[in-house]
Amino acid sequence: MFPSPDSPNLLPIIMPQLGESIAEATIVRVTFAVGDRVEADKDLLEVETNKAVMGVTAPCGGILRELSATIGESYAVGATLGYLEISEEDAERLGLNDAPPAPAEKPKKKKAAGISGAAEAESIKPSRKAVEPTVSGLPVPAHAGGASFLSPRMKARMAELGLHAADLAGVAGSGAGGRVTIDDLERFLQDLERNTISPASSMRVAVADAMRRSWTRPLATVVLPVQLDILLAHRKLQTVKAGPALYALRALAITLSEMPTVAGRLIGDRVIHPRSIDIGFAVEAEDGVLVPVIRHADQSPLVDLVERYNRLVELARARRLPGSDTGGSIATITNYGVFGLTMATPIPLPEQSILLGIGVGRVTPFWDQEKKVFVPVTEAQFTLSFDHRVLDGGAAGRLLQRVSNLLGTPEEL
């Protein structure tokens, strides 16, 4: 039996922690109306983060008595989104306080920082960061950038407007030594208002922030041509076929398990080594890129990874990746060859030191030393971008060469 409407057994519906680096989420769908009976583990709401669309579930059965969340608004992790009336037994099991909860307050809405469409720059509203997000337990700087020659007054004004130093890269400073002054900033903002302005998606803002933080490190890239003929012949013989990116992911995982020192991250004066070989892979999604992760990629043979890989690709494209399948990886694979690109210099994620890129495979002449003749081979340029504080060129080259050797013996994968 469920209690009457005036029962004190009201369980708050809380915005959960949906991922290691997630500080807020936007309500995109409400699945029940106030007064509806809800079964345990059913989605009460669907929320969208910068990574995926996920559900906020009911921990037990009950009646939805109040819903204070609004579709289209963002709420911080821990915000109360409504109340569920539950039975005495469930209230006791969940340790719900017998005292009636305080009257529900509207959860604080997280407004996106940006430039408004008003003519005056003063109309720009400051952003308020309700929760400090983290990546692998380390704080994520909200305003990281390569700022230089910015006065305290300028920094304060930029923080008020939610701007980064990178946003002012196109501003010609009129101050001493080329400094950007407050007047330069205000003129720049007023000039922006004369243009067509559209809001950036949450994913685009997240990608921009990650790339700003990544670029604060000294990054380098090495390149190696890799022959794919043996790999492609091996793939044709398989019942369950893996793509070249998954072959490369498995080869990288084996290599990192053999060379653990290159998988570390430099934090202060210490190198942090991973607890497991978890490898991410880039998947293009609407207005951005998502990075699903295959955990313990060094411990499963290639054939056992195909189904998991394909499932994660589908979830990523639908932006429905669960938090357990994102974040915490030590490296990423990106196959920019699918766009016809021969070579690129991709940027590792802020919490990673290495990123392996794969160019398009092309038939090219190769000199056969034994036959003394050119023969056609399928070759792709593989790039390894890395944090130069952690790896030197020699270590990066050996890592890339080992990956190439493993791809030449795909039966070992």
Q: Looking at residue 276, which CATH number applies to its domain? A: 3.30.559.10
* Residue 353 is assigned to a structural domain of this protein: yes
Q: How far apart, in whole angstroms, are the C-alpha atoms of residue 202 and residue 192?
A: 21
- Specify whether 233 is located in the same domain as 180: no
Q: How far apart, in whole angstroms, are the C-alpha atoms of residue 402 and residue 405?
A: 5
- Specify whether 257 is located in the same domain as 351: yes
CA-closest candidate to residue 336, choices 233, 399, 248, 403: 248
Quick one: pLDDT at residue 133?
A: 39
Cα angle at 391 between 386 and 396, to 5 degrees? 70
- Specify whether 248 is located in the same domain as 200: no
Q: How far apart, in whole angstroms, are the C-alpha atoms of residue 154 and residue 169?
A: 14
pTM beyond 0.75: the answer is no
- Specify whether 159 is located in the same domain as 18: no
Quick one: pLDDT at residue 279?
A: 94
The CATH code of the domain that includes 48 is: 2.40.50.100
- For 207-258, write each residue's pLDDT tens digit: 788 887 888 888 999 999 999 999 999 999 998 899 999 999 999 999 999 9
- Specify whether 193 is located in the same domain as 230: no
- Specify whether 363 is located in the same domain as 387: yes
- For 99-134, write each residue's pLDDT tens digit: 444 544 555 555 444 434 433 434 433 443 444 433
* Residue 100 is assigned to a structural domain of this protein: no
The domain in which residue 346 lies consists of 217-412
Beta-carbon contacts of residue 170 (< 8 Å; ≥ 6 apart): none
Are 208 and 140 in contact, with CB atoms under 8 Å apart?
Answer: no
Are 350 and 300 in contact, with CB atoms under 8 Å apart?
Answer: no
Indicate the burial class of 78 (C-beta count within 10 angstroms; 0-12, 13-18, 19 or more): middle
- Specify whether 276 is located in the same domain as 392: yes
Q: Which of 164, 179, 208 is the last residue of a domain?
A: 208
Mean pLDDT for back-to-back runs of 10 residues, the chain (413 residues): 57 81 81 90 84 83 90 86 88 67 50 41 40 37 40 79 76 71 83 80 78 85 94 92 93 92 82 88 84 93 93 89 86 93 90 92 90 92 92 92 94 90
